[in-house]
Amino acid sequence: MEKGCDVKQEKITFGGWGTVPGKFKSISGVAVSADNEIFVTDELNKRVQVFSIDGTLLRLFPTVLPGESNTMLEARGVALDVAPGYLWVLVSRNRWFFNKEYVVQYSKNGQPIKKFDVSLKSLYPVIAMDERNNKVIVGDKYRIMVLDPNGSRLWSSEVRPAYGISGVTSDRKGNVLLTDGYRTIKKFNPSGVKIFEFGTRGKGEGQLNSPKGICLDTSGRIIVANYLNDRVDMFTSQGEFVRTIAYIKFPEAVAMGPCGVLVVTTPFTHTVTIFPQQMVLP
């Protein structure tokens, strides 16, 4: 077992609706750091909450812009930076008014470092990090944007999914994977060319029904929050169904920890669930 991987071996659920520390008002994203800290964007409370791998609240910080510490913004998604000790958060002044969104880099303790503006069309944008190439990936309704950490756009691709991009991640080769919110997983190479897709709509084994969050396990297998099927499913990197990892009502964002622990958010109940390694990896 890796150092720091002596985590509890049972499923843990925490959270619930509220404004006090440890509670949530509209969970919008989750990420797990290399040192097993869980970062959850608490959108309408305008903060990021940080938990240990056993669900203990460690700290929280308001989502403010650099130089604007008195104005808190809605936190809409989170991704860990390549550089240890930093993360990226999608923030918005108001989710119902577009063109007021930013990608902000924070220290893991909540100090805003830098920001760049992004013009988004989606009420529910998603963010991920291409760790191989040190690029920020933003999924915005019908397009994928890949940006340098200084905010320069490298490429964007119109993908036109049925219901808008609902989840995004990248693999070790720098390919971008996304869920289309309907039934399909699509993969794009680092230049933005679609190279692969899979998925059939339905409730049967291996079928998808409004897939949302997506992440990869340590072996590159694809893990998908199968939202309307109330389960989290695993596929090979080629899209072959492996098995259902968990049954959970309306799973949305998913993140894999370095020890094989899977973290799943359920905005429907304002909760976060931690699934231990033996429940996740076959």
Residue 225 near residue 254 (C-beta atoms within 8 A) = yes
Q: What is the pLDDT of residue 38?
A: 98
Amino acid, res. 79:
A
Q: Which amino acid is at 120?
A: L
Give the pLDDT confidence score for residue 1 in this predicted structure: 42
Which pLDDT value is given to residue 20? Answer: 98
Cβ atoms of 209 and 227 closer than 8 Å: yes
Is residue 221, in this structure, part of any structural domain at all? yes
229-267 tens-digit pLDDT: 999 999 999 999 999 999 999 999 999 998 899 999 999
The string of pLDDT tens digits covering residues 165-221 is 999 999 999 999 999 989 999 999 988 889 999 999 999 999 999 999 999 998 999
pLDDT computed for residue 10 by the predictor: 87
Q: Which domain holds residue 58?
A: 23-279
- Count how many Cα atoms sit within 13 Å of the Cα of residue 113 in the half-sphere of its side chain: 16
Report in angstroms the alpha-carbon separations of 37 from 54, 97, 192, 236, 278. 9, 32, 31, 27, 19
Does the pLDDT of residue 30 top 80, yes or no?
Answer: yes
Within a domain: 6? no
Above pLDDT 90, what percent of the chain? 73
Predicted confidence band of residue 39 (pLDDT cuts 50, 70, 90): very high
64 close to 47: Cβ distance less than 8 angstroms:
no
Question: For residue 117, is it within any domain?
Answer: yes
**pLDDT for 282:** 66
Within-domain flag for 3: no
What's residue 98's pLDDT? 52
| Average pLDDT estimate for 138-155 | 89
**Model pLDDT for residues 83-105, shown as the tens digit of each residue:** 999 999 999 876 555 557 899 99
Say if 2 falls within a structural domain: no
Is residue 47 predicted with pLDDT exceeding 50? yes
Judge whether 161 lies within some domain. yes
Q: Residue 13: inside a domain, yes or no?
A: no
So what's the pLDDT on residue 96?
59
Cross-strand partners of 92: 74, 101
- Tell me the mean pLDDT in the region 76-87: 94
Q: What does the pLDDT read at residue 261?
A: 93
Task: Give the per-residue pLDDT at 195.
Answer: 93
Q: What rounded mean pLDDT belongs to the chain?
A: 91
Structural domains in the chain (count): 1
CATH number for the domain that contains residue 275: 2.120.10.30
* CA–CA separation, 41 and 49 (whole Å): 7
More confident residue, 141 or 139: 139
Does 16 fall in a domain?
Answer: no
